[in-house]
Chains A and B, each alone.
Chain A
Amino acid sequence: MDTVDAAEPLVIFIFGVTGDLTRKKLMPALFSLYLNERLSEFRIVGFARREWSQEHFRDQVREMIANVGGASEEQRNRFVQSVVYLQSTFEDPAGYEKLREHAAGFPNRIYYLSTPPGAYEEVIRSLGEHGLARSDTGYVRIIVEKPFGRDLASAQSLNSLLQSCFDESQIYRIDHYLGKETVQNLMMLRFGNGIFEPVWNNRYVDHVQITVAENAGVGTRGNYYERAGALRDMIQNHTFQLLAITAMEPPNDTSPDSIRDEKVKIIRSLDPVTHREPDRHVVRAQYSAGVVDGSEVAGYLTEDGVDPESQTETYAALRLYLDSWRWAGVPFVLRTGKRLSRKATEISVHFKHPPLHFFGPAGSPLQRNVLSIRIQPQEGITLNVNAKIPGYATAVRPVSMDFAYGSAFGPAVPEAYERLLFDAMKGDNTLYTRNDEIEASWSFINRILDHWSTQDGPLPQYAAGSAGPDEARGLLADGDRRWRRV
């Protein structure tokens, strides 16, 4: 008989429960875990400032889980009865005493920081001061949402504060990209197959592209985004994590620290962009008005909450090199942007041409072999190869060998948050980032931020719905290298 690997009894405290993250991701993920019998004895406590009644909060939760399919009314009712609202400011000591009361009867606790980053310090300090960071009955873990700092100094400061209250083993810095099935599969692809690892190096790989493209604009997050920008919002965390998993050496084993040790080596091996050369290796830009999905949309500078003279980038592209034996000389080009032509996150490994060009017209090399790993949407893997067109002539065309998660496997792929929350309940922090990874990435990014802080004048623009700014082309302008289509 199969047994379900369920979490031990626990109470989950979500700080900032009234925000969008809880509505869109956390509550549906927790409900899904409940439906899949991963959660049995549990309580979810929403901690926030808003003066909501218990009934109102439960009504909200019912709405949040409305789109999760496959649940009976009884299951929805039972889940909703397990959620509790705790109204308090993050500064009020009484709120933390109430929190202790809500934790009574449950041996294990998880705190989820889903507040604006400005509130992190207060919540962490208060948890420490009220003795809530430790428990004699079971585990206490804290999950910290991005952004983890806004530069190296603030990240170090946040790490110090966290480590003054919690052990590193209790701290789970979430990067939800790591919870995506295809990202996890990348390790399986590399280290579970014999054919890829021998060619995964500078002898065979020409360059690697990592794209995190969104077609959405800043929406209602203009105020937040003004202080972040694409480099902080996407590159420092998600994109660097994808880079690390793509480029890392095989770990000794699959323990969390073995994997994270290898990842951090990659971030540390990034050839620093010195103060003289950011403009050669980094491009930033802002979206202007354009057309997305057939509809006209506003430019960034006219979005709500955005300074009309803002210098915040909505697009960033970087050309990076790794100082490692395996990757010396191979460009890794990373790009992210809002209001691009479509939403697409992928890693593509572009292989070198064969040493001799036999086929196709003279002076016109065949297409490179490209292994693309689609992280979203339509998760899957495609390998482009050149094939002979059937017939008497030796004509060649590129064809693709495609693996799509959606059609290959029956059960639905778990949402990233679902997987990550369950991992935190089980004490597996493999897919969470460690303090040294965060600090290493900020250390690299800081140089670029420092350079940008000395620059004046408007940023280059790209039309909403386009592939990005013209300036980004220069990062790949070498031979027949081109950005992949978004």
Chain B
Amino acid sequence: MIVDVPAVEQELARIQRELTNSEVRTSLFNLVVFSPDAEKTMANEALNYLLGKRAARVIHIVNGAAHENPTEESRLDVSARCFIDTERKSVCFQEIVITNGSDGAGGAPGSWVPLLVRDIPTLILWQDTLCDNQDLLAHAQEQAEKLLVDTEQSVALGDPEDAILEVVHRIVVTDRIPVSDFAFKRLRTLQRLVASAFDDPKRTPLLDEISSVDLAGTSSPAGRLFSLWLADRLGWTIDGAHFRDRRNRPVAFNHTQVAVGCSAEVHIDLMTSERIHIAMQTAGCADVDYPEGEESHPVVSVPGNGELLLEEVDAIGSDALYRNALRVLDRY
């Protein structure tokens, strides 16, 4: 495969001209997607949501072709999708798909970095395993203003659960690369719900009286991230499989992935043997039951992958909550 940058640029311009007669909005960012498969990835769903909202250059590096067909060489395809916005201007995705073949050339930075538009942010959307692709990942993060990962998906693709947090910890804490983890972002509604349960000044002191937390639902990586987020916010330290609070008292954290008829359910047990119960579905009204018998039913909505991606491409900075949660791994 030879990457002829001027030829690719000309082809993209030609396709855009064919697609639209109106003025084309300037690309706001480069989005480089690494995935094992061109189709079966949440990136497509998320990108479809983004289409027409933000103009971008999308470089999709399909990494799994070599496994399926060991003789296949890397190759490059160019296309574009345009959407006319309300001001009659075209918002386009300039799409370049590089299939990384058995020669490995397609995934190397020397193949895709020259295709990035200069002087606009570059985001890497990593939809592949994190642990098995450390070299590719290292080169990719070198080029990125921000790395978007999804530890839930990486584990589903085969990453060992215990190793994946070490990898993201290294990237976020040691290498200080801005990272957003979709698995963590999807927890946001639950986090807000849990935090709001203690908003009432009379309940805020109970935060120091938690003896155990049971989380049911969510994936295993998300459960682990949720526990680290709690630990960070409440100043807990890690003690084996559980935590210790600020007063060095043990705090149990249990996670089960069983389907419970809603997206997540949290039981927070207090030292006083009282319990706060929070149940949440992906959309609709949540249920929060307090020890004194009170209850509330706030309206919640878990953002989809497309909404999350839109937020991420607009906010280039690092996710401080995520970084701080991972730093708990350093607190023994």
Question: Which A residues are within 8 Å of any B CB, using their own CB?
Answer: 215, 290-297, 341-342, 344, 360-367, 372, 374, 378, 382, 384, 389, 395-400, 402, 463-467, 470, 473, 477, 480, 485-486
B200 part of interface (Cβ distance < 8 Å): no
Selected contact of A467 from candidates B3, B142, B315, B319, CB within 8 Å: B142
In the assembled complex, the Cα of A485 lies from the Cα of B3 at a distance in Å of 19
| B218 sits at the interface (CB 8 A) | no
Bound complex: CA of A217 vs CA of B5, how far in Å? 18
Judged by a CB distance under 8 angstroms, whether B297 is at the interface is no
Interface residues of B in 225-274 (CB under 8 A from A): none
Residues of B within 8 A of A290 (CB): 108, 110
The one of B114, B318, B324 in contact with A341, judged by C-beta atoms closer than 8 angstroms, is B114
Contact yes or no, A485 B116, CB < 8 A: yes
Find chain A residues with CB under 8 A from B2 CB. 293-295
> Quick check: is B316 within 8 A (CB to CB) of the other chain?
yes
* B1-40 interface bits toward A, Cβ cutoff 8 Å, 1 = contact, 0 = none: 1111100000000000000000000001000000000000
> Is B163 positioned at the interface, with any CB of A under 8 Å from its CB?
no
- 3 pairs of A and B residues whose beta carbons are closest in the complex: A465-B110, A363-B320, A364-B317
Please give 8 more A-B residue pairs, beta carbons under 8 A apart, in addition to A291-B108, A485-B122.
Answer: A293-B111, A295-B105, A296-B105, A341-B109, A363-B318, A372-B119, A396-B314, A398-B316
Q: Are B113 and A364 in contact (CB under 8 A)?
A: no
Q: How many A-B residue contacts, CB cutoff 8 Å? A: 118
Contacts of B94 in A (CB 8 A): none
Q: Is the CB of B74 within 8 A of A294?
A: yes
Q: Is the CB of A389 within 8 A of B314?
A: yes
Given the complex, which residues of A lie within 8 Å of B78, measured CB to CB?
none
Residues B288-332 near A (CB distance < 8 A): 313-321, 323-324
User: Would you call A366 and B314 a contact (CB within 8 A)?
Assistant: no
In the complex, whether B139 has a CB less than 8 A from a CB of chain A is: yes
Q: A293-B2, A293-B5, A296-B105 known; A466 and B110 CB under 8 Å? A: yes
Which of A215, A400, A467 contacts B143, CB < 8 Å? A467
For residue B202, CB closer than 8 A to chain A, the reply is: no
Chain A residues with CB under 8 A of B318: 363-364
Whether the pair B119, A384 counts as a contact (CB closer than 8 A) is: yes
Q: Does B1 lie within 8 Å of A360, measured CB to CB?
A: no
Question: Contact at B317–A294, with CB atoms within 8 Å?
Answer: no
CA distance A365 to B175 in the complex (A): 17
B134 to chain A, nearest CB (A): 12
Query: In this complex, which of B113, B116, B121, B320 has the most chain A Cβ atoms within 10 angstroms of its Cβ?
Result: B113
Check A341 against B110 for contact (C-beta < 8 Å). yes
Task: Give the distance in Å from the alpha carbon of A372 to the alpha carbon of B120 in the complex.
Answer: 12
Interface centre among A293, A374, A382, A395 (most CB of B within 10 A): A293
| B119 close to A400 (CB less than 8 A) | yes
> Whose C-beta in chain A lies nearest to the C-beta of B311?
A395
When distances are taken between beta carbons in the complex, the residues of chain A under 8 Å from B323 are 363
Q: Known contacts A382-B119, A397-B28, A485-B116; decide if A367 and B110 are in contact (CB<8 Å).
A: no
